[in-house]
Amino acid sequence: MKQASTHCGRIELPRNRRQFLAKAAMGTGAIGLAGLLQRDGLTAPMERSLNPLSPQPKHFPAKAKNLIMLFMTGGPSQIDTFDPKPELIKYDNQELPESFNSEGLSLQFMRPTDGKLMASAFPFEKHGESGIEVSSLFPYLSQQVDDMAVIRSCYHDSFIHGPAITLLNTGSTLLGNPSVGSWVTYGLGSESENLPAYMVLSDGGFRGGKAMYHSGYLPAVYQGTVLKDQGVPVQNLKRPSSVSASQQRLMIDQINTWNARHRETREGDSRLDARINNYELAYRMQTAAPELIDLAGETEATQAMYGIGERAPDRFGKMCLLARRMVERDVRCVLLCHNDWDGHGNCAKNHTNNALHTDQPIAGLLEDLRQRGLLESTLVVWTGEFGRTPVMQGDKGRDHSPYGFTSWMAGGGIQGGKVIGATDDFAFRAVEDKVHVHDLHATIMSLMGLDHKNLTYLFEGRERRLTDVGGENDLAERLVS
- Residue 283: the pLDDT is 59
| Confidence at residue 271, expressed as pLDDT on a 0 to 100 scale | 61
Whole-angstrom distance, CA of residue 426 vs CA of residue 119 = 9
Mean pLDDT, to the nearest integer, of 362-368?
98
Residues in the chain: 481
pLDDT in tens, 62-92: 999 999 999 999 999 999 999 999 999 999 9
Q: How confident is the model at residue 357, as a pLDDT?
A: 98
Task: Indicate the range of 358-367, 395-404, 469-478 predicted with least confidence.
Answer: 469-478
- What's the whole-number mean pLDDT along residues 246-273? 70
Any long-range contacts for 98-103 (C-beta under 8 Å, 24+ apart)? 100/426, 100/428, 102/428
Burial code (b: 16+ CB inside 10 Å, e: under 16) for 128-151 equals bebebbbbebbebbbebbbbbbbb
CA distance 244 to 356: 45
- Domain 65-239+296-480: give its CATH code: 3.40.720.10
Q: Is the pLDDT of residue 162 over 80?
A: yes
pLDDT for 73: 98
Pairing of strands 66-73, 378-383: parallel
C-alpha to C-alpha distance for 82 and 68, rounded to whole angstroms: 20
pLDDT at 11: 41
Residue 47 confidence (pLDDT) above 70:
no
pLDDT top residue among 292 and 42: 292
Are 363 and 140 spatial neighbours (Cβ–Cβ below 8 Å)? yes
Q: What is the mean pLDDT of residues 194-222?
A: 94
Q: Average pLDDT for residues 395-403, to the nearest whole number?
A: 96
CA nearest 47: which of 214, 269, 364, 342? Answer: 269
Span 170-174, average pLDDT: 97
Query: SS3 letters for 207-220?
Result: CCHHHHCCCCCCCH
Q: What DSSP assignment string belongs to 22-76?
A: HHHHHHHHHHHHHHHHHHTTSSPPPPGGG-TTS----SS--S-SEEEEEEEET--
The Cα-based distances of 26 to 16, 20, 276, 390 in angstroms read 16, 10, 27, 70
Over residues 340-351, the mean pLDDT reads: 97
Q: pTM for the whole thing?
A: 0.85
Q: How far apart are CA 46 and CA 51, in angstroms?
A: 8
Does 259 score more than 80 pLDDT? Answer: no
Pairing of strands 397-401, 430-432: unpaired
Rounded Cα distance, 414 and 422, in Å: 19
The answer, yes or no, to whether the previous bond of 340 is cis (omega within 30 of 0) is yes
Segments making up each domain of the chain, as ranges: 65-239+296-480
Average pLDDT over residues 88-101: 93
**Spatial separation of the C-alpha atoms in residues 164 and 156, rounded to whole Å:** 8
Average pLDDT over residues 151-172: 98
Q: What is the pLDDT of residues 433-448, one digit of tens each?
A: 999 999 999 999 999 9
pLDDT category of residue 288 using cuts at 50, 70 and 90: confident
pLDDT over 50 (residue 34): no
In the predicted structure, residue 284 carries a pLDDT above the cut 50: yes
Average pLDDT value over all residues in the chain: 87
The answer to whether 446 and 473 are in contact (CB under 8 A) is: yes
* Least trusted range by pLDDT, from 165-169, 255-259, 366-370: 255-259
pLDDT of residue 77: 98
- Of the two residues 68 and 233, the one the predictor is more confident about is 68
Determine how many CB atoms are found less than 10 A away from the CB of residue 479. Answer: 24
What pLDDT, on a 0 to 100 scale, did the predictor assign at position 258?
A: 76
**Residues ≥6 apart with Cβ < 8 Å to 183:** 218, 222, 445, 450, 455, 465, 466
Q: What is the dihedral of CA 184, 188, 190, 191, to 10 degrees?
A: -120
Q: Give the confidence band of 250 by pLDDT, cuts at 50, 70, 90.
A: confident
Instruction: Please list, in sequence order, all residues whose beta carbon lies within 8 angstroms of the beta carbon of residue 334, skipping any fewer than 6 positions away.
Output: 66, 67, 68, 69, 181, 198, 199, 200, 201, 323, 326, 327
What integer is the mean pLDDT of 24-47?
Answer: 46
User: Exposure pattern of 97-119 as b/e (b: 16+ CB <10 Å)?
Assistant: eeebeeeebebeebebeebebbb
For 142, which DSSP code? G
Beta pairing partners, 70: 336, 382
Kindly state the percentage of the chain with pLDDT values over 70. 81
Give me the half-sphere count of Cα atoms (radius 13 Å) on the Cβ side of residue 194.
13
pLDDT at 282 over 60: yes
What pLDDT is stored for residue 267 in this prediction? Answer: 64
SS3 396: coil
- Per-residue pLDDT for 32 more than 50? no
pLDDT at residue number 15: 57
Contact 344, 109 (CB under 8 A): yes
The confidence score (pLDDT) of residue 272 equals 64
Lowest mean pLDDT among 153-162, 248-257, 341-350, 429-438: 248-257
Whole-number pLDDT of residue 300:
97
Q: What is the pLDDT of residue 94?
A: 96
**pLDDT at residue number 273:** 64
Q: pLDDT at residue 406 above 90?
A: yes
- What is the Cα–Cα distance from 402 to 77, expressed in whole angstroms? 10
- What's the average model confidence in pLDDT over 401-424? 98
Distances in Å between the Cα of 299 and the Cα atoms of 124, 291, 308, 313 are 34, 16, 11, 17
